[in-house]
Amino acid sequence: MIKSFKKNIKGILIEGLTLSSALVIIAIIVVMITVIVIGGKEQISWEFLTSFPEDGMTKGGIFPAIYGTALLVIIMSVAAVPFGTITAIYLTEYANENAIIAKVIRFAVRTLAVIPSIIYGLFGLGFFIKFVGTEMDNAFLGGQLKWGQPNILWASLTMALLTLPVVIVSVEEALKTVPKDLRAASLALGATKWQTIWKVVLPGSVSGIMTGTILAVSRGAGEVAPILFTGVAYYVATLPSSLSDQFMVLGYHIYVMTTQSANVDKTLPIQFGTTLVLLALTFILNISAIIMRYRIRQKKSN
């Protein structure tokens, strides 16, 4: 049973090939992060983070973009987290696994997750702005234009739709980790199904709901396409103070500086700085979500 030399070589080659493609991926990430960190670290300062852009974005800071991103993800979460949680409760607690309605909902959730983000943007434009917004203006403001144009509310709701599948899946997973024994104990004490969900199942799923929220926020903070038509602005001189205001966002700010600026070279350090801030933000959010998810899985395996 001596291995043939030919076979041996073939084995080594295949292993080498698979390993090197894996290494390429690591290399790409390392290069990407290194370039961004080296290019951006000089730029990061308290002033950069807290001041407005100046001189056609060639100087000054990115505060409105940070503020806009934060506001976007907060409004988005306020919409997506309760809605997603309620849907997840229906799927895990009420729907029969094999019922057609549950299958249709699951199919819809999966479909939502694979729709290209630009389509969400178009949907937001057509549905929220042209339909809901315009109808609101007609109904309450006598046709005066207020809600029938891009703003932070429509952008956040569009983003909420995009992140809904993330929330639903995370919360579902968390609800399933609450042991059947505990539900049985509660029901046997004469609790109704809703009391059991509210007092036993949901408190046991808080970390899962948090994980879903963080993942949704990290996705929402990085996406640009859904808000392109629905509310993000090239530049606004004031911070958004009402839901009908437009706003700036980190991801779009980078795009604007690289393609729309009169002097792209001069904005380069700020581009690097902005990219570093966005990258750090999504990294921190994702890592905290991974840690929480890991803890939930450990709890489940116990």
Partner 1 sequence: MTIEKILTENMDLYYGAKQALKSISIKIPENKVTAFIGPSGCGKSTFLRSLNRMNDLIDGVKIEGKILIDGINIYDNNIDVVTLRKKVGMVFQKSNPFAKSIFENVAYGPRINGLKDKKQLDEIVETALKNAAIWDEVKDRLGDSALGLSGGQQQRLCIARTLAVNPEIVLMDEPASALDPLSTSKIEELIVQLKEKYTIVIVTHNMQQAARISDNTAFFYLGELIEYDKTKKIFTNPDKKQTEDYITGRFG
Binding site for partner 1 (CB under 8 A): 96, 179, 181-182, 184-192, 195, 199-200, 203-204
Residue nearer to partner 1 on the CB measure, 141 or 182: 182
In the block, tokens 């899946």 appear at 169
Residue nearer to partner 1 on the CB measure, 181 or 265: 181
**Least CB distance from residue 271 to partner 1, whole Å?**
48
Residue nearer to partner 1 on the CB measure, 116 or 179: 179
Residues in the chain: 302
CA distance 121 to 69: 16
Residue nearer to partner 1 on the CB measure, 11 or 203: 203
**Least CB distance from residue 165 to partner 1, whole Å?**
27
Partnered with residue 54 across adjacent β-strands are 59
Residue nearer to partner 1 on the CB measure, 134 or 207: 207
**Least CB distance from residue 91 to partner 1, whole Å?**
16
What is the distance, to the nearest Å, from the Cα of residue 232 to the centroid of all Cα atoms in its chain? 16
Residue nearer to partner 1 on the CB measure, 125 or 200: 200
**Least CB distance from residue 209 to partner 1, whole Å?**
16
CA distance 82 to 275: 31
Dihedral over alpha carbons 261, 267, 273, 275 (to 10 degrees):
30
How many Cα atoms occupy the beta-carbon half-sphere of 134 within 13 Å?
A: 7
In contact, 51 and 291? CB cutoff 8 Å: no
Read off the amino acid at residue 230: T
CA distance 297 to 300: 5
Partnered with residue 263 across adjacent β-strands are none
Q: Which residues contact 286 (CB under 8 A, 6 or more apart)?
A: 214, 215, 218
Residue 134 neighbours by CB distance under 10 Å = 16
**Least CB distance from residue 207 to partner 1, whole Å?**
12
**Least CB distance from residue 248 to partner 1, whole Å?**
43
Residue nearer to partner 1 on the CB measure, 136 or 184: 184
**Least CB distance from residue 192 to partner 1, whole Å?**
6
Residue 190 neighbours by CB distance under 10 Å = 7
